[in-house]
Amino acid sequence: MLAFTQTEKNQSPALQTLPSPTLGEGEVIIQIKAAALNHRDVFISKGMYATIKYPVVFGSDAAGLVEGREVILNPGLFWGENPGFSGPDFQILGMPRAGTFAEYTALPAQYVHDKPTHLSWIEAAALPLAGVTAYRALFTRAGLKTGERVLITGIGGGVALFALQFATAIGAEVWASSGSDEKIAKAIKLGAAGGVNYRQTDWYKNPALNPGFDVVIDGAGGESFGYLLRLAKPGGRIASYGGTLGVVPNFSPQILFWKQLQILGSTMGSEQDFAEMLALVNQHQIRPVVDSVFALKDADKAFQRMEAGEQFGKICLEMG
Amino acid sequence: MLAFTQTEKNQSPALQTLPSPTLGEGEVIIQIKAAALNHRDVFISKGMYATIKYPVVFGSDAAGLVEGREVILNPGLFWGENPGFSGPDFQILGMPRAGTFAEYTALPAQYVHDKPTHLSWIEAAALPLAGVTAYRALFTRAGLKTGERVLITGIGGGVALFALQFATAIGAEVWASSGSDEKIAKAIKLGAAGGVNYRQTDWYKNPALNPGFDVVIDGAGGESFGYLLRLAKPGGRIASYGGTLGVVPNFSPQILFWKQLQILGSTMGSEQDFAEMLALVNQHQIRPVVDSVFALKDADKAFQRMEAGEQFGKICLEMG
């Protein structure tokens, strides 16, 4: 089969012909129809994780066929028994296990779910990893409720956009932040009540953000994260699913304890999170935002687009 | 009546004769038998809060008599309807309302509770504010359970010592940190399994702290707080009730989301927290640790002892 792969560190990822996957006990083989990129794929291609096992077949997200059944894959495998955090066996499809940027992949049958019927192959492929990450951060961790005000930072990324769509679907009031006015305008078209450009001086003092937020969803960290504590209402919950801007240098314990905030780390999601996320998407007929679609043979161009960081929505791959 | 008071900013607190309190609707008058200091009293005496109303009668903690009934006072007034955080009417006895460093004080009757019978006047007076703060941080917020490992920082302070005693009482494994080996030794006598001196280089790498903590209780903030994230187990809860060391410059979102930690701000406690704390103290016959006892007329010496920061346990006042 064809697969987008990296056989050793520092080697450029490339399309290669590999043997089709062999099946372990209880596993099924999936013919991939479409896949989608995550930052994780780029990080792996650059050797940025401590323990990368080669050869890598990239890709966590996909939709496809199992003996004629239209399916979507849950890429979060072997979460473990504690719903509060993933156990030692947890892994994400696409390293060490061969991933979805290929004609076929194999998975234990319980990680294969019915594809939402309102979604195209591409839309379905766009959903899994970012969707479950947004769901867990927003609901399982931060406990967002109808009518609450939620701020979603860095709108345009996959997780942030699903958080926007999910929060809007349940009737929360969503605000978005971005470094791009164009992305904020798009977020408002998707249902956001408003937005703020964090490139403006003292953006966190913008009166439009008053009276603050019940919930904040952030994937950036850095200095801006410190300001999120100011923007939270008393009793507010701030869920963090990433830290691309690194260490927070201005974290105030005074604001934390005085407003009795909750700062909640969140990553990926459990089997239950995934099932609940799919149910929400089906119930509200939510359609993932697709930024762009590349053929599998042009996967390198998809990686370049993700590195450029200008996407609004998911970057997808179409097979065969 | 005699009261320890400050009539305007920058004036030295002093013992003065004031009119006895007048009773509002539903209030009772309490004859104070003993009282106890909190950092709050020192902060008020230095004008460190934004809105101080003069004259101040200091004191949040007390035990005393209401028409012959032996009582202990809940100093956290008008918490409000949301158990998650205190509402706009919340106030702490001892400013703006006249406090307990006096022969008499007045309170709405629902804030007067039966004094635990196993406690002396002094011990009972030592309990309220620090006790309810420790209880809320440890149980209501961090949800500590029997058998879990908990790290309590800055052992010697009132809240930290109650957290140690409460956690030990329910069968948690308690570790303590301090800048003083002597205080650590005292903590071990009180039931701690061990301790670590944070003045040692790389104290947070001490193998004795492995395999980390389910719960951490901190009142300091600062750079050490950043290390607490490393010391938490996956799924760990870190409750913060203070920030005497100020802003945290090294807060890592990567550790936060990867271990799916919860960072929980906590301050004082609700009426329910107070009632549950009293029940725990009665059930386990817990006796507050008393550092020292001063006569009301020597209250200035009690303030000096608190400012020196060398106490281990509560600094108390005995009335006439």
SS3 state of residue A253: helix
Taking the C-alpha atoms of residue B15 and residue A55, their distance in angstroms, rounded to an integer, is 79
**Nearest residue of A to residue B136, measured between CA atoms:** A260
CB A250 within 8 A of CB A228: no
- pLDDT score for A50: 81
Check if B253 contacts A (Cβ < 8 Å): yes
**Using the beta-carbon criterion (under 8 Å), do A253 and B256 form an inter-chain contact?**
no
Same domain? For A144 and A30 the reply is no
Do A113 and A179 lie in one domain? The reply is: no
Q: Are residues B145 and B201 in the same domain?
A: yes
To probe the interface with B, which of A256, A259, A268 has the most B CB atoms within 10 Å?
Answer: A256
For residue B320, which of B38, B41, B56, B17 has the smallest C-alpha distance? Answer: B17
Name the CA radius of gyration of chain A, rounded. Answer: 19
CA distance linking residue A109 with residue A111, whole number of Å: 5
B287 neighbors B310 (Cβ within 8 angstroms): no
Give the per-residue pLDDT at B310: 87
Are A67 and A165 in a shared domain?
A: no
Q: For residue range B178-221, what is the model confidence (pLDDT) as tens digits?
A: 999 999 999 999 999 999 999 999 999 999 999 999 999 999 99
| B88 and B161 fall within a common domain | no
Which residue is closest to B251 within chain A, CA to CA? A248
* H runs (alpha helix) in chain A: 39-45, 121-126, 128-135, 158-169, 181-189, 222-231, 253-258, 271-283, 299-308
pLDDT exceeds cutoff 80 at B122: yes
Residue B114 domain-assigned (yes or no): yes
Residue A292 domain-assigned (yes or no):
yes
The H helix count followed by the E strand count for chain B is 9, 18
Q: Are residues B259 and B245 in the same domain?
A: yes
In a domain, B276, yes or no: no
Name which of B318, B273, B319, B295 is nearest B113 in CA terms. B273
Residue B137 within a domain: yes
Q: Which of A39, A229, A251, A252 to mutate to test the interface with B (most CBs of B within 10 A)?
A: A251
Task: Tell whether the model's pLDDT for residue B117 goes beyond 90.
Answer: yes
Phi, psi of A115 (to 5 degrees): -70, 130
ipTM for the whole complex? 0.95
Whole-number pLDDT of residue A10:
86
Rounded Cα–Cα distance for residues A146 and A168 (Å): 9
Looking at residue B109, which CATH number applies to its domain? 3.90.180.10
Percent of chain B at pLDDT > 90 equals 96
Identify any residues that bridge with A215 across adjacent strands, giving them in sequence order.
Answer: A150, A237
- Sequence-ordered list of residues with C-beta below 8 angstroms from that of B102, at least 6 positions apart, any chain: B1, B2, B3, B4, B5, B18, B32, B57, B59, B296
Q: Same structural domain for residues B57 and B120?
A: yes
Predicted confidence (pLDDT) at residue B320 exceeds the cutoff of 80: no
Residues B20 and B114 placed together within one structural domain of the fold: yes
Q: Are residues A250 and A141 in the same domain?
A: yes
Query: Do B120 and B146 belong to one domain?
Result: no
Domain membership of residue A137 (yes or no) is yes
pLDDT at A310: 87
Q: What is the DSSP string of B215-235?
A: EEEES--HHHHHHHHHHEEEE
Total domains in the fold of chain B: 2
Mean per-residue pLDDT of chain B:
96
- Are B260 and A85 an interchain contact pair (Cβ–Cβ within 8 Å)? yes
Pairing relation of β-strands B194-197 and B213-218? unpaired
Q: What is the pLDDT along chain A (320 residues), one digit of tens a residue?
A: 999 999 998 899 999 999 999 999 999 999 999 999 999 999 999 998 888 999 999 999 999 999 999 999 999 999 999 999 999 999 999 999 999 999 999 999 999 999 999 999 999 999 999 999 999 999 999 999 999 999 999 998 999 999 999 999 999 999 999 999 999 999 999 999 999 999 999 999 999 999 999 999 999 999 999 999 999 999 999 999 999 999 999 999 999 999 999 999 999 999 999 999 999 999 999 999 999 999 999 999 999 999 998 899 999 999 97
Torsion sign (Cα): A156, A162, A163, A167 = positive
Q: Torsion-angle region of residue B145: left (phi > 0), alpha (psi -120 to 50) or beta? A: beta
Residue B128 parent element (H or E)? helix B128-135
Nearest residue of B to residue A258 by CA position? Answer: B267
In the predicted model, is pLDDT for residue B118 greater than 90? Answer: yes
Confidence of residue B51 (pLDDT cuts 50, 70, 90): confident
User: What is the residue range of B79's domain?
Assistant: 2-127+288-318
CA-to-CA distance for A238 and A305, rounded, in angstroms? Answer: 29
Question: What pLDDT is stored for residue A25 in this prediction?
Answer: 95
- The residue whose two tokens read 């978005």 is A176
User: What pLDDT is stored for residue B27 in this prediction?
Assistant: 98
| One-letter amino acid for residue B16 of the chain | Q
Q: Does A279 map to a domain? A: no
DSSP labels, A169-196: HTT-EEEEEES-HHHHHHHHHTT-SEEE
Residues B175 and B293 in one domain: no
The answer to whether the CB of A236 falls within 8 A of the CB of A216 is: yes
Q: Tell me the CA distances in angstroms from B244 to A311, B45, B154, B176, B181, one per residue in order.
A: 43, 17, 11, 18, 21
Residues B270-293 have pLDDT tens digits of 999 999 999 999 999 999 999 999
Same-domain status, B7 and B94: yes
Please give the interface size between A and B, counted as residue pairs whose CB atoms are below 8 Å apart.
Answer: 124
> Among all residues of chain A, which has the CA nearest to that of B253?
A243
Residue B167 lies in a domain: yes
Would A36 be classed as within a structural domain? Answer: yes
